[in-house]
Structure 1
Amino acid sequence: MMGKDILHKMKVKAGLSSSNTDTTGKGKTKMSGRHIRHGYHLVKGQSNHPMEDYIVAQFKHAGDSELGLFAIFDGHMGHDVPNYLQSHLFDNILRQPDFFTDTKNAIKKAYEITDSTILEKAKELGKGGSTAVTAILIDGSKLVVANLGDSRAIICKNGTAKQLSIDHEPSEEREIIEKKGGFVSKIPGDVPRVDGQLAVARAFGDRSLKVHLSSEPYVNEEIIDDETDYLVLASDGLWKVMSNQEVIDAIKGIKDPQAAAKHLTEEALIRKSKDDISCIVVKFE
């Protein structure tokens, strides 16, 4: 690893952000002979509430291994839950005794523990919730992605985009929601919502909806090889206006991942995205 652990976290307090503010940063390391660089860029959307997107982009040692930790948390009905996730979720994952032997199971357990804690702290953290997409790179070769909601992770191999997460849409999980006693409706608005309120079927928090809402993550593993070019994580502010392949095509030829992340947020704005837009680009060399 080059230098000290690199940690970039974005915290936006109420009243300190506007539609004209953004946050950007980058970092780099070397794992198992592979140079890895990351960059991120976040832009406040057009909503009246404060910025509710939080990110983590960190390289660190854990035992004999080197890790890259990347995440985007997209909050709703307040920023306290994504702020809590930013500070605690990866710690809970790495604390699991089977993290290195059964990483998928460790992540699922940590997601469950974290969600239970958020619900217990509802008086402190509020009634809101958050989607999440997390990516853990182990020794530069094994990538484990997990997600709840519609923040998404894709990877690029030989110029072709491959989605590593699942968008948890209420319309796709209608049967599960209805078996729990809930319903899916487009009223009010024009998108399917759990109990007419939330536009994702899985999320952290959301105490009032939790009986009908799942917090079980989708977990996926991918091998990073010499054909791997990029990893891209982004909130739905990007995916609402760009397809997976359009995202990859837009950053081809951009060597600096920070510049690539900024370019994607700018392209989303050009395409009239009104939501908060958060993007992390990890480049493998």
Structure 2
Amino acid sequence: MTGREILQLIKEKTGLGSSALDTGKGKSKRSKHITHGFHMVKGKSKHAMEDYLVSEFKQQNNVELGLFAIFDGHLGHDVANYLQNHLFENILKEQPGIWIDTESSIKNAYRRTDEEILDKSFSLGKGGSTAVTAILKDGRKLIVANVGDSRAVICKNGVALQLSVDHEPSKEKRLIESRGGFVSNLPGDVPRVDGQLAVARAFGDKSLKIHLSSEPDVSILPIEEDVEFLILASDGIWKVLSNQEAVDSIKNIKDAQAAAKRLIGEAVNRNSKDDISCIVVKLQ
């Protein structure tokens, strides 16, 4: 174990950091022009870092899978940590269904993972987490799913295209009310489910779950020559940058890790106070 890994382990045990290293990068073995990089920055809040991420390539059944995800925890980091360790595991258990009926398979995996989290609420606590996941199959097919407000955006011919859906309470007010909940809208504050949570969908949050969905929106995209790169990021970026501003700020940076750092730096310069996690996947 390296010195940095020992330091990170100490941070995890003491609640001072996420389980992922702060920054890193890698590349596809099958398509060497595809690279990825990630970066994480602790926000200005007094609580411990609540973001976790996955950014890696793996081989499974003669298929190369790029697995990328951002998990933005709230009321603690335990649920986000659980998702980092188990969500893709549950998604990949859906094979071969995931390649045949992709949307249903992804939704099944998200539902099963949320049920596990709720069953373990005594140990994981009352908190929750948003999630945005992306699976890149052999560099040719991209599957994106999300709950909450972490976001997936691609750059296509220089133009930003959002693949995920921001699950805002104001947009899902009727659904929340149909389940017996309510959406608060107090002056100076954002809309919240039952006056508490600022997203309409999330993992965990057992006390709100009767009014809160964990069903993801799913998007499937073929990777063609005009798709240049993918950004996954927590809402600490999207609160201060539009999709196009994010794309424009990194479109001329070739190194994926440097691009992720630049994007977070731009958000911090614009006074984003939240924990921020970002993954950039260069596809060309």
TM-score (norm 1): 0.92
Counterpart position of 1:89: 87
Counterpart position of 1:274: 273
In structure 2, runs of 5+ residues without a counterpart are: 1-7
Between structures 1 and 2, the one with greater strand share = 1
The amino acid of 1:61's aligned partner reads Q
Q: Report the Cα offset of residue 188 of structure 1.
A: 8.2
Counterpart position of 2:16: 16
Q: Report the Cα offset of residue 15 of structure 1.
A: 4.3
The amino acid of 1:41's aligned partner reads H
Q: Report the Cα offset of residue 166 of structure 1.
A: 0.3
Q: Secondary structure at the match of 2:103?
A: helix
Paired with 2:114 and 2:208, the residues of 1 have a C-alpha distance of 13
Q: CA RMSD, aligned part only?
A: 1.6
Paired with 2:16 and 2:235, the residues of 1 have a C-alpha distance of 22
The alignment of Structure 1 onto Structure 2 pairs a total of residues equal to 272
Paired with 2:216 and 2:263, the residues of 1 have a C-alpha distance of 26
Q: Secondary structure at the match of 2:71?
A: strand
Q: Secondary structure at the match of 2:139?
A: coil
In structure 1, runs of 5+ residues without a counterpart are: 1-9
Counterpart position of 1:44: 42
Counterpart position of 2:136: 137
Q: Report the Cα offset of residue 64 of structure 1.
A: 2.0
Runs of 4+ with >3 A deviation: none
Q: Report the Cα offset of residue 187 of structure 1.
A: 3.7
The amino acid of 1:73's aligned partner reads F
Q: Report the Cα offset of residue 186 of structure 1.
A: 2.7
TM-score (norm 2): 0.92
Q: How does 1:149-160 map to 2 (within 5 A)?
A: 149-160=148-159
Q: Secondary structure at the match of 2:146?
A: strand
Counterpart position of 1:117: 116
Q: Report the Cα offset of residue 94 of structure 1.
A: 0.3
Q: Report the Cα offset of residue 17 of structure 1.
A: 4.3
Q: Contact 1:188–1:196 at 8 Å: present in 2 too?
A: no
2:184 paired with 1:185:
yes
The amino acid of 1:72's aligned partner reads I
The amino acid of 2:115's aligned partner reads S
Q: How does 1:234-253 map to 2 (within 5 A)?
A: 234-253=233-252
Q: Report the Cα offset of residue 271 of structure 1.
A: 0.2
Between structures 1 and 2, the one with greater helix share = 2
The amino acid of 2:88's aligned partner reads F
The amino acid of 1:65's aligned partner reads V
